[in-house]
Amino acid sequence: MKKITTYQNKKVLVLGLAKSGVSAAKLLHDLGALVTVNDGKPFEENPQAQDLLALGIKVICGSHPIELLDEDFSMMVKNPGIPYSHPLVQKAQEKGLPIITEVELAYQISEALMIAITGTNGKTTTTTMIANILNAGMTDHKAYLSGNIGYPASTVAKKAEKDDCLVMEVSSFQLMGVKQFHPKVAVLTNLYEAHLDYHGSWEAYVAAKWQVQQNMTTDDFLILNWNQKEIQELAQNTQATVVPFSTREVVDGAYLYQGTLYYKDAAILAADELGVPGAHNIENALAAIAAAALWGIDYQVIANALRTFSGVKHRTQYVGKIDEVAFYNDSKATNILATQKALEGFDPHKLILLCGGLDRGNDFDALIPSLKGVKAVVLFGQTKHKLEDAARKAGIPEISFAENAEEAAALAFELSQKGDTILLSPANASWDQYRNFEVRGDRYIAAVEQLSEKKGSSQ
């Protein structure tokens, strides 16, 4: 990593721990900063804070006292999940204190160039596809997954060498806190309404996403979803060299034409050769093809990597088969759009959909067109009766209810026949029953494994 002296003997406040806060605090400490960490969880219940204290880092836990800012801090590093409406953040803004997120630190110390991926949906899959392709084609160096995908960017940036690549998923929350952040290649997968409770408006959300390219120049490449008119309009306002991708038209980039994925004039592979199903994954693959091609990866390597790509856990993840019934885990589908995209990848007449979760006050009428033709649904969680209404309007003949995703898996298997697919794609957040979507997906996978064991022991 670059041995920068920017923070030597500077007082820095790290607000909020979790993975990124711990990583930022340790990095700043290594860089000679005088770090104070403030986290809401009480110290005695906070092993992360205890570990940081053992390193000699000042730790204040259990509350967020405003008087903390009476100290002469030079900067705040904010956990991305903490909103700007938080009293301590607002006070820092009033004082004119610079507020950054941990990905900014990662950029400042990284010797490796960076591919940054953002967007509403498809970020994690596209990020993983790109890293897989690069690692298949880079013989002497490595592509490192980092960022919002679960690997703190500033930890990964420490070990990445000059000719490596940081393949970084970045959220709108993280991008609100960047200053110098400058990827060599950036990808915007798509833009749909999301996180408006955090950003306050659609315009603010789009502006946050668009910060990914704010420091890019004509020597850098910005890969954009040309299916969306809003993104085409944004493309008029960047210094970067725009590389479009599209499933609807031939573009000067990556595109789908007559069932084949192309980059420029070169056919890469047939759409039905992709290792993961769904129209949304064709878009993800096109973005990944463009990024890999720009990085100089051989087209045959790109094609082979995409053929063998089996998906990302909790994102239309293939779990396995029992009696010729296939199970997929799409627990990451925490909104209607994500479930709509997942449904596009399956034959509805052989599909049993498991759906439901946290009630955020919305109805599910937008899901009705995608539900038409679906063989059966098993519904659970707070929204099960709202989803029942949508399912009846869609004409689904078999509507059942379960207590949770695990029970839904077992009930769906009872309803299934050979050749069917059972898909967990909840269209809702998980917090009514589970700590997060990962736990929900893991419980579903465990339930499928139990069904398989039970089936095997009965044969």
Q: pLDDT at residue 457 above 60?
A: no
Q: What is the CATH number of the domain that holds 68?
A: 3.40.50.720
Q: Are residues 136 and 268 in the same domain?
A: yes
| Helix boundaries (H) for 200-335 | 202-210, 229-234, 279-294, 299-307
* End-of-domain residue from the set 66, 100, 134: 100
In this prediction, residues 73-91 reach a mean pLDDT of: 95
Instruction: Specify if 5 maps to a domain.
Output: no
Tell me if 125 is assigned to a ligand binding site. Answer: yes
Q: Are residues 259 and 397 in the same domain?
A: no
- CA 78/CA 391 separation, integer angstroms: 42
Range of the domain at 17: 11-100
Number of domains observed in the structure of the chain:
3
Q: Are residues 94 and 116 in the same domain?
A: no
Q: pLDDT at residue 458 above 80?
A: no
Cβ neighbors of 25 (< 8 A, separation 6 or more) are: 14, 17, 35, 37, 52, 57, 77
Q: Are residues 230 and 261 in the same domain?
A: yes
CB 427 within 8 A of CB 335: yes
Tell me if 128 is assigned to a ligand binding site. Answer: no
In a 13 Å sphere around the CA of 438, the CA atoms on its Cβ side amount to 4
Mean of the per-residue pLDDT values of the chain: 95
Tell me if 120 is assigned to a ligand binding site. Answer: yes
In this prediction, residues 272-298 reach a mean pLDDT of: 94
Tell me if 122 is assigned to a ligand binding site. Answer: yes
- Band (pLDDT 50/70/90 cuts) for residue 456 is low
Q: pLDDT at residue 455 above 90?
A: no
Name which of 251-255, 341-345, 425-429 the model is least confident about. 341-345
- CA 129/CA 122 separation, integer angstroms: 10
Instruction: Specify if 61 maps to a domain.
Output: yes
* End-of-domain residue from the set 49, 73, 100: 100
**What is the per-residue pLDDT across 359-418, written as a single tens digit (0 to 9) for each?**
999 999 999 999 999 999 999 999 999 999 999 999 999 999 999 999 999 999 999 999
Instruction: Specify if 286 maps to a domain.
Output: yes
Q: Are residues 50 and 155 in the same domain?
A: no
In this prediction, residues 4-20 reach a mean pLDDT of: 95
- CA 361/CA 434 separation, integer angstroms: 19
CB 429 within 8 A of CB 348: no
Handedness of CA 287, 291, 294, 300 (dihedral sign): negative
CB 57 within 8 A of CB 32: no
Instruction: Specify if 2 maps to a domain.
Output: no
pTM: 0.82
In this prediction, residues 214-227 reach a mean pLDDT of: 98
- CA 130/CA 138 separation, integer angstroms: 12
DSSP code, position 83: -
Cβ neighbors of 425 (< 8 A, separation 6 or more) are: 316, 328, 330, 333, 338, 339, 342, 343, 353, 354, 355
- Band (pLDDT 50/70/90 cuts) for residue 444 is very high
Q: Are residues 192 and 89 in the same domain?
A: no
Q: pLDDT at residue 239 above 70?
A: yes
Q: Are residues 133 and 18 in the same domain?
A: no
* End-of-domain residue from the set 245, 274, 307: 307
Tell me if 179 is assigned to a ligand binding site. Answer: no
Q: pLDDT at residue 310 above 60?
A: yes
Instruction: Specify if 42 maps to a domain.
Output: yes
Q: Are residues 186 and 273 in the same domain?
A: yes
In this prediction, residues 134-155 reach a mean pLDDT of: 94
Tell me if 119 is assigned to a ligand binding site. Answer: yes
Q: Are residues 89 and 131 in the same domain?
A: no
pLDDT reported for residue 344: 87
Instruction: Specify if 312 maps to a domain.
Output: no
Instruction: Specify if 459 maps to a domain.
Output: no
In this prediction, residues 196-211 reach a mean pLDDT of: 93
Instruction: Specify if 220 maps to a domain.
Output: yes
Q: Are residues 115 and 231 in the same domain?
A: yes
**What is the per-residue pLDDT across 44-60, written as a single tens digit (0 to 9) for each?**
999 999 999 999 999 99
pLDDT reported for residue 156: 97
- CA 151/CA 23 separation, integer angstroms: 10
Q: Across the strands, what pairs with 216? A: none
Q: Are residues 77 and 183 in the same domain?
A: no
Q: Are residues 96 and 150 in the same domain?
A: no
pLDDT reported for residue 276: 86
In this prediction, residues 240-266 reach a mean pLDDT of: 98
Q: pLDDT at residue 316 above 90?
A: no
Token pair for 176: 């609100």
